[in-house]
Amino acid sequence: AMHAYYFDNLPTDQRLPHITDPARPVSPETLAKLGVLSWHVPVDGHESGVDESDDEFEVNRVAKERGYKNRDVINVSREGMGAVYEEKIRGFFEEHMHEDEEIRYILSGSGFFDAREMPTDAWIRIVVAPGDLLVLPAGIYHRFTLDTKDQIRALRLFKDEPKWIPHARSGATDANVHRVGYLRDIG
Ligand code: KMT
Ligand code: NI
């Protein structure tokens, strides 16, 4: 299962692990109670991420089951993003929610997804590496950062067009129907 732990909340570089001393691991069961699901699906032969024809490939099965018809591959690195890199990195790390699930399948590289535990509002840091398939539920507050290796390539799954909108956490998102529905679902 995916490795996760409580974030230390220190104001140092977001790319550092931010593990507390002693470490406070978070179990897959705790993540599941928050609606965070994960699988490990070996990448071998699926490096491009875009082949939808293989029904045996677990990623395609999960996508189909959950009604995620569209996909793209994002390469988060200075080389892969050019001029928008700094801005994107900042945007990914701003606490936000979506009205759909955020589904990511890591093809190469690594990084951290931070998700808010409820009702504590503590940050849980989820370490992702190649083969990790992560589902963040609609309405969960979260953010993403690269680690110090500064590179990740991931398949992003979308319900409809390849767009999914980040809503920065605010009083308005606290009242958003998807946020309220999420809290009801996990409560
Ligand atoms: C997101 O939603 O924050 C991203 O797509 C980040 C890159 S995917 C590992
Ligand atoms: Ni997001």
* Residue 40 parent element (H or E): strand 37-40
Distance 54 CA to ligand 1 centre (A): 24
Looking from the CA of 79 toward its CB, the CA atoms found within 13 Å total: 4
Where in the sequence is the domain holding 19, given as residue range(s)? 4-186
Distance 136 CA to ligand 2 centre (A): 8
Residue-wise pLDDT tens digits, 93-150? 999 999 999 999 999 999 999 999 999 999 999 999 999 999 999 999 999 999 999 9
Task: Give me the interface pTM, i.e. the ipTM.
Answer: 0.94
| Binding residue numbers for Ni(2+) | 96, 98, 102, 142
Give the domain CATH number at 22. 2.60.120.10
Cα 73 to chain centroid distance, Å, stands at 14
Q: Considering its fold, how many domains does the chain have in total? A: 1
| Binding residue numbers for Fe(2+) | 96, 98, 102, 142
Which residue from 68, 104, 135, 157 has its CB within 8 A of the most atoms of ligand 1, so it is best to mutate?
A: 104
Q: Which amino acid is at 178?
A: H
Distance 120 CA to ligand 1 centre (A): 24
CA dihedral 165, 166, 169, 172 (to 10 degrees): -10
Residue-wise pLDDT tens digits, 33-91? 999 999 999 999 898 877 778 888 999 998 999 888 889 999 999 988 888 999 999 99
Nearest residue to 98 (alpha-carbon basis) of 113, 85, 112? 113
Tell me the pTM. Answer: 0.95
